Amino acid sequence: MGLQSETVMTVDDTTKSQLRAPEGVTPMMAQYLEIKAANADSLLFYRMGDFYEMFFEDASVASRALGIALTKRGKHLGEDIPMCGVPVHAADDYLQKLIALGHRVAVCEQTEDPAEAKKRGAKAVVRRDVVRLVTPGTLTEESLLDAAPTTSSRLCSGSRTETGAEPRFALASIDISTGELIAATCRLTDMPGELARIRPGEVLAGEDLASDEAIRNLVKEAGAALTPCPRAHFDSVRGERALKERLGVAALDAFGEFSRAELAALAGLLTYVELTQVGRAPLLRPPRKESADKLLLIDAATRVNLELVRSNQGTRAGSLLAAIDRTVTAAAARELASRLSSPLTDGPAVNARLDAVGYLADEPRLRQDLRDGLKAAPDLARALARLAFGRGTPRDLGAVQTAIGAAHALAARLLNAGEALGLPRELMAIAERLAQAPQAVAASLSAALADELPVNARDGGFVRPGFDTDLDELRALRDGSRKVIAGLQATYAEATGIKSLKVRHNSVLGYFVEVTALHAPTLTAAPHAETFIHRQTMANAVRFSTTELAELESRITSAAERALALELDIFARLTAEVMDAERSLSSASAALAELDAYAGLAELAVEQRYVRPRVDDSTVFAIEEGRHPMVEQTLRREQSADFIGNDCRLRGGGDDQNDAPSALVVTGPNMGGKSTFLRQNALIVVLAQAGAFVPAKSAHIGLVDRLFSRVGAADDLARGRSTFMVEMVETAAILNQATPRSFVVLDEIGRGTATFDGLSIAWAALEYLHEVNRSRVLFATHYHELTALADRLPRVANATVEVKEWREAIVFLYRVKMGAADRSYGIHVAKLAGLPAPVLDRAGAVLAELEKADGRPKPADLAGDLPLFQAAVSTRPDGSPSKLAEALRDYNPDGMTPKEALEALYRLKGLLDDA
């Protein structure tokens, strides 16, 4: 019956009046209005036979959103009732569209058989009730979940804690399609980055928090839907009690130390899931406490700039995830996306991951065997979640059976390899978890399930013949009805001596005996009159029934229903057996995903010639011949060129034992590779601390606590921010939060304002990073004046990208070397871009004047006698003489009559207009 009083959305008076059921309304419409009133904040999918119907305003909204026809059905309060509907079999496609547009949908199903309703009277209405609310954060169906791991249906809940000088927020999140549950606490300034990392589809907040404009903006920027909930849902005692009950434990200490705010966020989360799923409890893995000091903090802007899991176009293609993903299962692709989004700062944990990747990289035969075995492993986590919600299918049970078999086969392969070579700690732990997958459950499923499984349990036919004797008998009766009827017809024909006697069936009489009118007296006379009961006389035939035929009809008609009911009962028993072993199955599911992620990273390392980075607690950053993973693979696909690797050496401000600079000022022309150089080093940090090998000849990385990247230009007009304002906001966040262990990438700071203003800001920001933040910094700029800081600040050095001038053009070498560029070659790049020759000539002349000026030049200095008009009309874009220039060259003014001169002037004017 929906959220009822729990619903937060208000309903206006007009809507309330429409939802009342006045006298005279049909029983069906009265039922609809009652259910809709309890779910006024959602579109109501009202089940009527093979369609979900919508009425009133819901119908108008849905017809526009889905592009389906809006019709009418009867009247209400004297007006036509708008109506539209969607077929039940195609409902998922329509739900996906509505959820993407931000709608919530209440799914109302028939909860009894229509035949049962008829027993209560001819006008009785089939009982219906809302069985679930579909929202952006509560999707479980495979068709509704985005197969690509770049988007998320994760549900997130927030609760404020006032401890400390700065407000902090507890965030709890759950992926109800897998049962993964996480809790963490962050500062308000880190909230955008945390939401970008979690990537929720929906965020829950108490009414007080949801009314905060800053919170609303943060959720909107994260691309999530904000759902206000009653403050009472966020009760820490309620959350602690619910977790203990669900996990079957007396204390939560084994899962981490959760604050009261985190427990309150978890309470809001679990309450909402229970309400939207109408009492059905989700699959729930043990909660994981994430500590801010254990994860590499990456703000939202940096995640966008570096294209970690999505490209700038919002797609998976072109992202770092797409470049490195070599997994063979969907669960592992999600695990890899999670690791890229949440790199570690725990050195032993990072190196344990690297040990696993390195081991599999060195064992090609084992790696290939594991990848072949993993291809057979279905998505166990999502199958378990659907079964837990009561939305499972026979194929989900089949997936559990197959996954258990794959888990044991992979465990055996790993343990055999371990006996011969020894396994790293991570792989040994995976092998042990795989080996614990419940074989007894697999045996039960194997005995019960048929080889070919239907999509839905109600389709039947998923139980193996021979598994249940009663089911086999019912199936035999159902499937052998024609043979039974034919045998009975032959018996009657022989007993009566009427060879033309037929046993037929229609929807009115059911099964009946039919003879011609000529033979009817035989059946109405003794001794057959007691057996054959007259039912109907036709023009040329007479129909009879028999007790035996009626009993057989009853058995045949109900055999299919009883067979299906028995199969559904078997399905329920098998589901219960699976869920009893949920804990070990979930552990095996996670182990399969982790193993595939490690094998995929090992495959990547061998395929792309990546190396294992040395990761420790120093502040060293030493990369030899580093490469950009996405650009390199693009070049290889296009077979245009090999990527040129470049070195980068930095040290944190607290490392006085290293002679490398802490900040590198990178100058050189556009298109020369500065931005690529900056980004590739930031991406190497992410890959290394996620536990992956990196694209370089060698790499030594001291653990980074925060990663910042200020690259590119974009405005935020919706919030009244210009491009330069966005740039300054992001720069301010870096200067206020970076530490000596941070890694900072800044590209073209200060270019969005006047030259001297921008130069001053860039100069001061670099000094601040050097003196106060003391971070490892890559600072690309076209302000060549900044290269002077290398002589003034001890930990600043210059680097430039090499170019070669040849025949008045430049050749990009894409090689970074120490030193400063003498100029930016901007006009050369403009020429490569195809600017018209007159514009290039004029730009060159202006540049010459600017270079001669000492300080800021005056506008008059640039507007003198430079031949702008002449340049525009005397040459074509390729530099050849224009028609106007050719005509002028052919004219001899001294030899013209006045009339000829006037005609020539008109011709020139025409040529000038054409130019």
Give the Cα separation of 678 and 694 in Å (integer).
15
Q: How many other C-beta atoms can be found within 10 angstroms of the C-beta atom of residue 725? A: 14
Helix, strand or coil, per DSSP, at residue 748: coil
Give the Cα separation of 782 and 327 in Å (integer).
41
CA-to-CA dists, residue 581 to 252, 442, 575, angstroms: 21, 11, 10
> Torsion angle of alpha carbons 655, 657, 659, 660, nearest 10°?
-30
CA-to-CA dists, residue 733 to 200, 709, 913, angstroms: 23, 11, 53
292-295-299 Cα angle (round to 5): 85
Q: Is 668 annotated as a binding residue?
A: yes
Give the Cα separation of 800 and 447 in Å (integer).
69
Query: What are the E-state strand segments in 215-296?
Result: 225-229, 288-290
Helix, strand or coil, per DSSP, at residue 183: strand
DSSP letter string, 18-75: HH---TT--HHHHHHHHHHHTTTTSEEEEEETTEEEEEHHHHHHHHHHHT---EEEEE
What is the strand order of the sheet 541-545 is part of? 502-506, 510-516, 541-545, 533-537
DSSP letter string, 621-684: EEEEEE--HHHHHHHHHHTS-----EEEEEE-TT-TT--S-SEEEEE--TTSSHHHHHHHHHHH
Q: Is 672 annotated as a binding residue?
A: yes
Q: Is 896 annotated as a binding residue?
A: no
- Helix axis angle, 380-388 to 582-608, nearest 10°: 150
Give the Cα separation of 193 and 308 in Å (integer).
13
CA-to-CA dists, residue 669 to 471, 675, 816, angstroms: 78, 11, 12
Largest CA distance in the chain: 139
Q: Is 54 annotated as a binding residue?
A: no
Give the Cα separation of 110 and 200 in Å (integer).
32
Q: How many other C-beta atoms can be found within 10 angstroms of the C-beta atom of residue 364? A: 12
List % helix, strand, coil for the chain (3-state, nearest 5).
50, 20, 30
Identify whether the C-beta of residue 13 lies closer than 8 Å to the C-beta of residue 1. Answer: no
333-337-338 Cα angle (round to 5): 115
Q: Is 48 annotated as a binding residue?
A: no
Q: Is 673 annotated as a binding residue?
A: yes
658-659-664 Cα angle (round to 5): 110
318-324-328 Cα angle (round to 5): 110
Q: Is 728 annotated as a binding residue?
A: no
Give the Cα separation of 309 and 322 in Å (integer).
7
Binding residues for ATP: 668-675
Binding residues: 668-675
